[in-house]
């Protein structure tokens, strides 16, 4: 989530506004040419808005957005190596079998100082997931999938990957809602939606992304890396639970002394989490670090640790602000969390895993 990306977001054409159509009446333009020109404009406009998404009724959408009270099926979509919080989140999810079945883990692309591009970021994340599972003594055969090697270039063209294909197949085969716990740029899930829009009827996306809707900007690492995918989450009508960074998950601070108290000597995974936390930053004096992504895992474990609101899905602008349209469909926005409950549950589960 930290904004330290070294890449530049390339803004495409304005996503929402049709440019006014002007028609030059060139001298000598034949009627046939005019018709051809108008036809080509019509075809162009049609393809610009060609993507049809299934529309859920308000009743179904609101039922999907209700906090889950029973065990759910999840897939985790994670840019695991982009910093050190995804590692905690993946471990936390895998150690919560009473609350969720982790059916698959997808490596997501990222580009910051810890990768030389989205493909490298995805590959580093893939390897980090395997490393975590090895340290936990867990089998990862047929569980971990490589995701997109690039971000979406436009809103109609998915980036195919093993992860996106698996998500389509898994979602379509699922008889109950499949929760897609998205902890990075949402390229994999956006691609899957473009590949098979019907998965909108099958999934619930819980996304760590964006700032809260009243913040002065939407600008946040996961969101800005792939603006087209982020817009698609807000626009497609997919059931979306948005877990923003500021001013919500920014409360998930921890320190080296706290981690050493609860995780030191608690098996290879406890020691590894402390090691990567220490390595992430040089100056540890009065140092704390936000473990952003565990919020998403904690939300589906026990929603009573959170406050949320039903809101109209915002319009994400190219200026990375939110615009309001109260005729839009609903999303659920997380507005508050209880930090101690979340860390307490995660620490206990890592300790119990070691026993």
Q: What is the CA radius of gyration of the chain?
A: 21
User: Which range binds Ca ion by CB under 5 A, 61-69, 139-147, 178-186, 334-342?
Assistant: 178-186
Stretch of residues binding Ca ion (CB under 5 A), selected from 155-163, 189-197, 292-300, 307-315? 292-300
Closer by beta carbon to Ca ion, 128 or else 293: 293
Among 118, 121, 147, 184, binds Ca ion (CB under 5 A): 184
Q: Is 183 in the site for Ca ion (CB under 5 A)?
A: yes
By beta-carbon proximity to Ca ion, the closer residue of 220 and 293 is 293
295 interacts with Ca ion by CB under 5 A = no
Letters for 68-97 (x = contact with Ca ion by CB under 5 A, - = none) are -----------x------x-----------
Under 8 Å between Cβ of 151 and 229:
yes
Task: Return the residue nearest Ca ion (CB atom).
Answer: 183
Buried b (16+ CB within 10 A) or exposed e, 48-80: eeeeebeebeeeebeebbeebeeebbbbbbbbb
Nearest-approach distance from CB 209 to Ca ion, in angstroms: 9
Count of residues binding Ca ion (CB under 5 A)? 5
To Ca ion, the closest distance from the beta carbon of 57 in angstroms equals: 32
CA separation for the pair 130, 120 (Å, rounded): 16
Task: Find the length of the chain.
Answer: 355
Which residues in the 303-322 window bind Ca ion by CB under 5 A? none
CA distances to 125, 126, 131, 262 from 140, rounded to whole Å, are 14, 11, 10, 26
Is 181 one of the binding residues for Ca ion (CB under 5 A)? no
Q: In the bound complex, what is the minimum distance in angstroms from residue 220's beta carbon to Ca ion?
A: 11
Interface with Ca ion (CB under 5 A): 79, 86, 183-184, 293
């Amino acid at each position: 989530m930290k904004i330290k990306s070294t890449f530049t977001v390339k803004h495409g054409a304005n996503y929402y506004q049709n440019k006014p159509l002007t028609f030059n009446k060139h001298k000598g333009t034949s009627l046939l040419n005019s018709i051809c020109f108008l036809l080509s404009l019509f075809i162009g406009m049609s393809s610009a808005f060609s993507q049809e998404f299934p529309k859920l009724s308000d009743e179904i959408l609101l039922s999907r957005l209700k906090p889950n009270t029973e065990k759910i099926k999840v897939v985790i979509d994670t840019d695991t190596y982009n910093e050190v919080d995804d590692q905690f989140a993946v471990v936390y999810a895998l150690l919560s079998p009473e609350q969720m079945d982790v059916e698959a883990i997808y490596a997501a692309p990222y580009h910051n100082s810890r990768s030389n591009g989205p493909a490298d970021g995805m590959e580093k994340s893939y390897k980090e997931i395997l490393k975590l599972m090895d340290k936990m003594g867990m089998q990862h055969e047929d569980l971990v999938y490589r995701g997109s090697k690039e971000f979406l270039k436009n809103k109609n063209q998915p980036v195919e990957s093993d992860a996106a294909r698996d998500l389509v197949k898994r979602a379509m085969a699922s008889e109950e809602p499949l929760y897609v716990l998205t902890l990075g740029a949402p390229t994999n899930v956006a691609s899957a939606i473009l590949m098979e829009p019907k998965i909108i009827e099958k999934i619930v996306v819980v996304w760590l992304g964006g700032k809260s809707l009243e913040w002065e900007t939407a600008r946040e690492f996961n969101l800005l890396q792939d603006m087209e995918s982020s817009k698609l989450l807000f626009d497609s009508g997919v059931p979306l639970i948005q877990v923003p960074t500021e001013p919500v998950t920014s409360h998930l601070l921890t320190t080296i002394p706290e981690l050493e108290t609860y995780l030191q000597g608690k098996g290879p995974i406890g020691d590894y989490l402390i090691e990567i936390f220490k390595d992430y930053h040089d100056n540890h004096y009065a140092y704390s670090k936000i473990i952003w992504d565990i919020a998403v895992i904690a939300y589906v474990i026990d929603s009573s640790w959170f406050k949320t609101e039903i809101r109209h899905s915002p319009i994400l602008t190219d200026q990375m602000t939110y615009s309001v349209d109260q005729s839009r469909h609903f999303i659920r926005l997380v507005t508050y969390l209880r930090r101690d409950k979340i860390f307490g549950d995660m620490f206990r589960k890592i300790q119990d895993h070691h026993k």
